Amino acid sequence: MSEDLKIKNIDPSLYNEDLAPLSPKDRKWGAFEIFNVWANDVQSLFGYTLAASLFIAYGLNGWAVMAAIIAASIFVMVLCNLSGIPSVKYGIPYPVMARASMGVRGANFPAMMRAIVAIFWYGVQTYFASTAVTLLIHALFPGSAGGEEFLGMTSIGWTAYIIVWFFQMYMFMQGIDWITRFLNWAGPFVYLVMIALMIMIWIEAGDQLLPAVGTIFRGTGEYEGGPVMAFLAIMGTMIAYFAAVVINFGDFSRFVKSEKVLKKGNWWGLPVNVAVFSFIALFVTAGTVVIFGETLTNPTDIVERVGSLPLTIIASVCFFAATIGINLVANFVPPAFDLANLAPSKISFRSGGVITACIAFFVGALWVSVISNIGIAGFVNTLGAVLAPIYGIMIADYYLIKKQKLNLEDLFSSAPDGEYHYHNGWNSKALQAFAVAAIFSVGTVWVPALAELSGFGWVVGALLGGLVYKILMLQTKTTAIKEDVNAEA
């Protein structure tokens, strides 16, 4: 920790070097690094599949789908600017930022919720990244059958899975600088591969491609709720996709040089990047209908059908890289910080990462045979919905209650008179606001009557959390002022 930050009276149970405020001289990320955080997110195997499926799943005019996708990315950009700016200013990660509103002990609750969600998806994404490696192995060794299956994966599948698991561990152990270099390499190269795939599809489809695209842009109007609800559903789906990164975006923005750089990187990484990549996904998807007679939304299936060995090799490597990139960003770094926040004197950022990887190994290993078949998505979506009110509470606290001013020393202090000690380290007002808002956001996952709001459940949950928190905190402040006046009288 830099001496110019002047933090004294630190409680060892709340502090280690990984959670400490990052000195301005150590913040080296520019707009390009932030752009690549989003580029790897969008360009993962799941990100492409999502973008491609949105053009065909809702029966909406293609231009309207593009507009909905771009509108959602702009909304997410605003959310990330709000959650990222405090960490740019103070150099602190998400779990430390949460202490200001939830209390120095209460922050463990949102940190653990985020960690559980991230660890689950880390294991799942590790499996999906391994499918790209499996594709590469089959391309290089055409005669490889894969062997007998165990827990839903062949011996080649297991080999690929273990390779990916160890590779991610290696990257993580090299530190954030290595992860940054990896992201900066993966993002641009996946773009090149997708453009090459689009050109090959276009050449193969010939003059039938544009009519196929035109069909998509006409839309079918088959969505039950009508075009307006279809538009909102697409927006909600895209917002839900990015929601996991939104709440802990401070884990990355703390490395950024300035607020201006952060906003620039988010602009290019979200609205611009999402629009361009979705456009490519549209043309490739339309081309698959012409060439193969069916709509293919999984890029590995498309590459495999194209039958070009050089493209298969390059695409496998790049999709592997992009999927690992978002896995490191969204599902490895956050729980490492979150677990370190539980016991900073005993768990470091690295040891938190090791714990994350070990638990996630079993999640990914059991994905095909067990977890994907037991409806675990409802459990994970519930945890995600739980995070929505916490985002609203944190944002309302920083901008409306604290007026963008934090006491760094008290963020690492358990003294009873500390600004963020509240009641035994827990802010009861934040917990009350959370309980009220979480009823709605979790309800969108489990209550059939609210099912159509599931995509926007996160947004409404965040707004409710922030609004109720502000009201409760202002009431507390008003009561305190009255008590002071009465005492003086």
pLDDT given for residue 330 in this prediction? 81
Computed from CA positions of residues 286, 290, 292, 293, in that sequence, does the dihedral angle turn out positive or negative? positive
Judged by phi (left if over 0) then psi (alpha if -120 to 50, else beta), residue 347 lies in: beta
Q: In the beta sheet, which residues pair with residue 150?
A: 153
Please tell me the distance from the alpha carbon of residue 336 to that of residue 357, in angstroms, as a whole number: 9
Tell me the two tokens of residue 361: 């190994």
Q: Which amino acid is at 88?
A: V
Q: At residue 489, does pLDDT exceed 60? A: no
Residue 106 · residue 419 · CB < 8 Å: no
State the pLDDT at residue 72: 92
Most confident residue range from 219-223, 300-304, 468-472:
468-472
Q: Helix crossing, 176-205 with 31-42: angle to 10°?
A: 50
The Cα 319–Cα 131 span in angstroms is 10
Q: Provide the token pair at 403.
A: 């007026």
Provide the strand spans (E) within 412-458. none
Six-digit token string for 415? 């003294």
Residue 118 has pLDDT above 70, yes or no: yes
End-to-end alpha carbon distance in the chain:
47
- Span 210-227, average pLDDT: 74
Give 10's pLDDT tier (boundaries 50, 70, 90).
confident
CA-based nearest residue to 419, from 407, 427, 429, 404 = 407
pLDDT value at residue 2: 41
* pTM (2 d.p.): 0.87
For residue 58, the number of C-alpha atoms closer than 13 Å in the C-beta half-sphere is: 29
Cα–Cα nearest to 397, from 407, 412, 385: 407
Does the structure show a pLDDT above 70 at 365? Answer: yes
Express as a percent the part of the chain with pLDDT over 70: 91
> What is d(CA 303, CA 315) in angstroms, rounded to the nearest whole number?
7
**CA 274 distance to own-chain centroid:** 15
Residue with token string 């007679």: 293
In this structure, are residues 160 and 134 in contact, taking their beta carbons and an 8 Å threshold?
A: yes
Q: Is the pLDDT of residue 21 over 90?
A: yes
* Predicted local confidence at residue 138, as pLDDT: 82
Structure tokens given for 413: 């202090």
Alpha helices per DSSP H over 58-107 = 62-90, 94-97, 99-102
Answer whether 276's CB lies under 8 Å from 190's CB.
no
Q: Residue 209: what pLDDT?
A: 86
pLDDT at res. 4 = 46
CA 101, CA 393: separation in Å to the nearest integer?
A: 7
Closest CA to 53 of 269, 238, 239, 307: 238
pLDDT-based confidence at 339, cuts 50/70/90? very high
Residue with tokens 């697409």: 234
What pLDDT digit, counting tens, does each position of 422-461 carry? 999 999 999 999 999 999 888 888 888 887 776 678 888 9
Angle CA(116)–CA(120)–CA(123) in degrees, nearest 5? 140
CA distance 195 to 218: 24
In DSSP notation, 142-205 reads TT----S-BTTB-HHHHHHHHHHHHHHHHHHHT-HHHHHHHHHHHHHHHHHHHHHHHHHHHHHH
62-88 tens-digit pLDDT: 888 889 999 999 999 999 999 999 999
141: helix, coil or strand? coil
Lowest mean pLDDT among 8-22, 153-167, 267-281: 8-22
Q: What is the pLDDT of residue 380?
A: 64
- Phi, psi torsion values for 247, nearest 5 degrees: -70, -35
Domains of the chain with CATH codes = 26-385 (1.10.4160.10)
Integer Cα distance of 240 and 302 in angstroms? 26
How large is the angle between the packed helices 376-396 and 108-140, nearest 10 degrees?
130
Residue 358 pLDDT class (50, 70, 90 cuts): very high
Taking residues 315-327, report their average pLDDT.
Answer: 80
How many residues appear in the chain? 489
Residues 139-164 have a mean pLDDT of 83
What letter does residue 450 receive in the DSSP assignment? G
* Side chain identity at residue 51, one-letter code: A
Q: Give pLDDT tens digits for 262-285.
A: 999 999 999 999 999 888 888 888
pLDDT at 3: 39
DSSP string, 236-293: HHHHHHHHHHHHTTHHHHTTBS-HHHHHHHHHIIIIIHHHHHHHHHHHHHHHHHHHHS
> In the chain, what percentage of residues exceed pLDDT 90?
38
Q: What is the mean pLDDT of residues 176-190?
A: 83
Q: Give the helix/strand (H/E) hosting 209.
A: helix 209-218
Which tens digits make up the pLDDT trace of 376-433? 666 667 777 888 999 999 999 999 999 999 999 999 999 999 999 999 999 999 999 9
Closest CA to 387 of 121, 119, 117: 117
Summarize the confidence of residues 201-218 as an average pLDDT. Answer: 83
Q: What is the pLDDT of residue 1?
A: 41
d(CA 458, CA 452): 12
